[in-house]
Structure 1
Amino acid sequence: MLEKKNRKYIWSGHRVLLLSILCLFGFCLLAQQPVQQKEEPQVATQKKKQPKSKVYLIHSDLLRKDARHPDAQVVVGNVVFRHDSVYMYCDSAYYYDKISSFEAFSNVRMEQGDTLFLYGDHLYYDGNSQIAEMRMNVRMENRTTTLLTDSLNYDRVFNLGYYFNGGTLMDEQNVLTSDWGQYNPSTKQSVFNYDVELVNAQFTLTSDTLQYNTATKVANIVGPSDIWSDNNHIYSEKGTYNTFTGKALLLDRSILMNDGKQLTGDTLYYDRNNGLGEAFWNMELKDTINKNMMTGDYGYYNEKTKYAFATKRAVAIDYSQRDSLFLHADTLLMETFALDTDSMYREMRAFHKVRFYRVDLQGVADSLVFSSKDSCLTMYKDPILWNNNQQLLGEKVLMYMNDSTIDWAHIVNQALSVEALDSARYNQVTGKEMKAYFKNRQMYKTEVIGSVRVVYYPMDSDSTLIGMNVSETSKLDIYLVNQQLDKMVMSPKSNGTLYPMNQIPPGTDRLENFVWFDYIRPLNKEDIFNWRAKKVSDQLKKNTREPVELPNQHLFDSKKKQ
């Protein structure tokens, strides 16, 4: 082994001599250039003339020559070398005075000032390149940082240590392992590649490429990385993660996953200690358990309180049924109450300018609230619902759900149901309130209560219109089979007036509060962003009763409490 090293030192000596001759030859060529180009070689000459520092043998108990290594001095016992301000210790060594290098064995220690210490079983140190090659049981200590490996090269010129056969870097906060890594004691910056793992008391980060600073405790994510903890999982390919404060700024569609929720954005901010996540631009908050999601240009989620909201082109999407429902509002909010109790329930709120679309159902309102406590969805202020050729509206609409499908609906005050038969004829029913009941997503019964008025076109067996019936009563029950009228029961009974089709008096074919809001109805899932208000002439009559307090009036106050 020493003979191999000896050949290395002889070649190193020849290499130094060859480089010196080439430099001298280059200097002669430069001296022949015009005067105005002599500035650069003068700098080179000054650098060349600067003497290189020498590696000195400070102490050894024994010094002798060895015939097998004629260029080396064999030093044994309490050996000490010095190069500039660096001291190196070992039990024995081969000292090559001419090439200012040595090979050290057993209990090797290298000290640079009072901050950097390097330990190992074997060291080759080249005083010309100032590179230390430490092998076997290597340990580098820099204040509170320790690096462990079996093969470490330390470059004193660039103050950089790097390993290439696996290593571990430890500080007060984290333990990092990788196949390849480097560490700079001056900047405290480190780089890791291949099978990187950062272990923290609260999480584990795995990656293929990672940068980490032992002073700031900040990890720079520069490749596909996963951060796992007991409560959540983060996937990111670019960003920064402060392992001390738990705050992260993640880019390029990073994903935060927690308890079945996935928060994604072009830019993602996360505060691990407080459980807060914010997503900017193309935000997506997905509930993989309940199969719904919120999207928008901005989103917020508190994983501790289960509070979330989205704004700026905010959309709620329910994909739990065969056809997805798309709902848009200025702001969407989800809040959880009685958390971690048997009485826990959630509220989803949408305000203002609510518009939603599904193939079989469309609607608009100013505000909307769904509570899992009673599985009730409530639409406030000018709510309108459409199903195929039917339209329902009133001052307030309540829909009670069962397993994400509608069970029954309650239309409160100024209730109006309209069915379009063609572009000119409409079946119409109005009353103070309506209740509609459903089975398998199809309406089978409707109750109309209080001041009931009806405009209805009965048909014969071949769907030919018989005439137009106008009736009034106090209560009306409508029964349907396969969404077709089966019978109507009025209480008290009212025969009304049946006009033949060619004898309908002008103005009797429309109820006083009739309106067909085809110009407001959402046409598709893209049209939910296009708010269209009612015409002034189509507004509901003002009601003298006490105004309904909208549940969204305190939303921002509740946000501040989070």
Structure 2
Amino acid sequence: MKKLALYIISLFSCFALLNAQETKKIIVENSDFVDRNQDEIPGATVFTGNVKVLHNGVKINCNKAYYFDQENYIKAFGNVRINQGDSITLNSRYAEYDGQKELAFATGDVYLRSPESTLTTDTIYFDKKNQVAFYNSYGTIVNKENTLKSKSGKYFVQSKKYQFNTKVVVTNSKAKIETNHLDFYEDSGHAYVFGPSTITNEGNVIYTENGFYDTKNNTGKLLKNSTITYDNKIIEGDDLYYDQSRNFSRAVNNVKITDTINNMVAKGHYAEMWRDPVTRKDSIILTKRAVVITKVEDDSLYMHGKKILVTGPPEDRTIRAFNNVRFYKTDMSGKCDSIHSNNKTALTQLIGNPVLWNNENQMTGDVMHLIGNNQTEQLDSLKVLNNAFLVQKDTLSQNGYNQMKGQNLFGKFRDNKLSEVDLVKNTESIYYIYNDDNELIGIDKKKCSKINMQISNNQIETVTAFDKIESNLYPESEFPENARRLRGFIWRGDERITSKEGIFPEEENLIHEQILIESRKKALEEDVPMEVLPETLEYDKNNPDNKDKKTVEKQP
């Protein structure tokens, strides 16, 4: 019988249809041949040739079908195609459909097509009531430029989302995602990962345990145990944002940036980094209890500023710190308004009311230059330009200070300790002189054109004056207290930084403690996948204004 129009189940089901049962019956709309041989297929009607089946919005086409009217169940053979409107189309060699449960099963060269993706696998199930398709037989999904491979997965028709809870790999021309838990939205290309996950891009590798990645625009938001690893830098933080096209990264709270080439670590609670893969002129901005830690021989230099900038390629890196700059090393510490340091020239400039403590020596001036030796990784020399002033607390007297001043000061270091100092132009000095028994001989006050000091074990050994010398040695009793200070003398010993913790102002420590408290609270919260972002939920593939819109980062 050809083109059997509207063959309604069987004669035995007519009464049930007239009484409008709640469960809709399967309708065989067309078939070339019909056979109801109960000996061969008990309880079934066999339809052969151009079979078309309808049920509650689902269309099934196949070469041959067994229909079990009592069970409201159908088995389909050969070139099976199951279609639900324009949402999904399922092709296979064999399929079954339960009209009672509205559940489909398909196997053999399965091909599931949605408006944005295609899935190929061996076996698939489709739950029409809940609008979910799922497979456990390894599958490959092609979503425009993305290819997803996994052992098992689910597809949610309404939200156009694939979900994977076993190992899945997503690849495209720019990135590769590997994780054991992924929600992938096919229209937007947005991927949400949970648990240990890696995202590999050209020039970097991202690790996170809870995050979002936009496969179209190569942007990401990472929330737990996250790192971004470049060729020579590693970025960590509680909240990371990444933009591959702009070569930009941003980190918030408990930020740590490690420079593996220059043995440098930068920390703070907010950072931005731009990279230039061609010139390698990377740049970093760091704020909120910012500190840069640089390894110097067997020691480390800690430098803090309200704002720190690190720029340039690894071999020509410049560090700039601004506003209330403080730094500390075991044998040296200091303060100034701003700092400029370059590793290629090994020159560090202290600008704006600088003060430097090297062991027991305090030096001040308008501008200071510290010059290092890149081969030995030690301090080589020092320049203090304009209003140079050197003060050393006299350890044997109660309130005495050895003082020397001049227009400029030039110092030499040996083993990172000040070993020689030259003061030039309009030099003056006050120096406490003792005999071998540490008995005070007198207090020497002099003026001259130049002063040279030799320093050993952090103590002034000799003082030599040159040209136009005016010198007087006063017994202590004949030298008034108010005359024992050179003009411009300021002892800033109470400001001296004696530990790495001392470089931070109190207000920034308070911010730091509050962030740590919030981080500890967050660590105790239940570990759940991040909430789906508004740009995913509101994405409209038919709206050109949204089609290529990037994730908008929110500045703190």
TM score, norm. by length of structure 2: 0.80
State the secondary structure of the residue aligned to 2:188: coil
Which residue of structure 2 aligns with residue 511 of structure 1?
A: 486
Deviation at 1:185, TM superposition (A): 2.9
Which residue of structure 2 aligns with residue 56 of structure 1?
A: 28
CA contact (8 A) 2:331 2:417 kept: no
Which residue of structure 2 aligns with residue 293 of structure 1?
A: 265
Structure 1: distance between partners of 2:174 and 2:338: 41
Deviation at 1:393, TM superposition (A): 0.8
Which residue of structure 1 aligns with residue 466 of structure 2?
A: 491
Within the alignment, does 1:480 sit opposite 2:455 as a pair?
yes
Deviation at 1:484, TM superposition (A): 4.2
Assess, with a 3 A threshold, how the Cα gap between structure 1 residues 72 and 260 changes in structure 2: closer, same or farther: same
Structure 1: distance between partners of 2:437 and 2:138: 85
CA contact (8 A) 1:150 1:167 kept: yes
Structure of higher CA gyration radius: 1
Deviation at 1:291, TM superposition (A): 2.1
Structure 2: distance between partners of 1:191 and 1:51: 30
Structure 2: distance between partners of 1:51 and 1:504: 113
Which residue of structure 2 aligns with residue 34 of structure 1?
A: none
Q: Which moved more, 1:68-77 or 1:245-254?
A: 68-77
Structure 2: distance between partners of 1:500 and 1:329: 46
Which residue of structure 2 aligns with residue 262 of structure 1?
A: 234
Which residue of structure 2 aligns with residue 400 of structure 1?
A: 371
Residue 386 of structure 2 is aligned with which of 413, 417, 422? 413
CA contact (8 A) 2:62 2:77 kept: yes
CA contact (8 A) 2:296 2:378 kept: no
Structure 2: distance between partners of 1:308 and 1:320: 21
Within the alignment, does 1:79 sit opposite 2:51 as a pair?
yes
Structure 1: distance between partners of 2:222 and 2:73: 47
Within the alignment, does 1:364 sit opposite 2:352 as a pair?
no
Q: Which moved more, 1:258-267 or 1:352-361?
A: 258-267
**Equivalent AA in structure 1 for residue 306 of structure 2:** D
Deviation at 1:214, TM superposition (A): 0.5
Deviation at 1:117, TM superposition (A): 1.4
Residue 70 of structure 1 is aligned with which of 42, 64, 69? 42
Structure 2: distance between partners of 1:441 and 1:507: 35
**Equivalent AA in structure 1 for residue 292 of structure 2:** A
What is the root-mean-square deviation in Å for CA atoms of aligned residues?
Answer: 2.5
**Equivalent AA in structure 2 for residue 50 of structure 1:** E
CA contact (8 A) 2:361 2:458 kept: no
State the secondary structure of the residue aligned to 2:174: coil
Within the alignment, does 1:207 sit opposite 2:179 as a pair?
yes
**Equivalent AA in structure 2 for residue 478 of structure 1:** M
CA contact (8 A) 1:455 1:468 kept: yes
CA contact (8 A) 1:134 1:153 kept: yes
Deviation at 1:192, TM superposition (A): 1.0
**Equivalent AA in structure 2 for residue 468 of structure 1:** I
Which residue of structure 2 aligns with residue 435 of structure 1?
A: 410
Deviation at 1:73, TM superposition (A): 3.3
Within the alignment, does 1:157 sit opposite 2:129 as a pair?
yes
Structure 2: distance between partners of 1:61 and 1:441: 99
Residue 500 of structure 1 is aligned with which of 459, 475, 478? 475
Within the alignment, does 1:251 sit opposite 2:227 as a pair?
no
Unaligned runs of 5+ in 2: 1-19, 508-556
Structure 2: distance between partners of 1:179 and 1:424: 80
Give deviations 1:461-486, integer Å, cap 9, x for gaps: 34443322222221222223444444
Tell which has more relative contact order, 1 or 2 (C-alpha 8 A, sep 6+): 2
Q: Which moved more, 1:258-267 or 1:122-131?
A: 258-267
CA contact (8 A) 1:363 1:386 kept: yes
Give deviations 1:405-428, integer Å, cap 9, x for gaps: 321110001111111123512211
Within the alignment, does 1:227 sit opposite 2:203 as a pair?
no
Deviation at 1:489, TM superposition (A): 3.3
Which residue of structure 1 aligns with residue 504 of structure 2?
A: 529
Structure 1: distance between partners of 2:437 and 2:201: 68
Structure 2: distance between partners of 1:518 and 1:482: 19
Q: Which moved more, 1:91-100 or 1:194-203?
A: 91-100
Within 5 Å, give how 1:41-440 maps onto structure 2: 50-56=22-28, 58-61=30-33, 63=35, 65=37, 67=39, 69-304=41-276, 305-336=281-312, 345-403=316-374, 404-422=377-395, 423-440=398-415
**Equivalent AA in structure 1 for residue 382 of structure 2:** A
Assess, with a 3 A threshold, how the Cα gap between structure 1 residues 419 and 76 changes in structure 2: closer, same or farther: same
State the secondary structure of the residue aligned to 1:507: helix
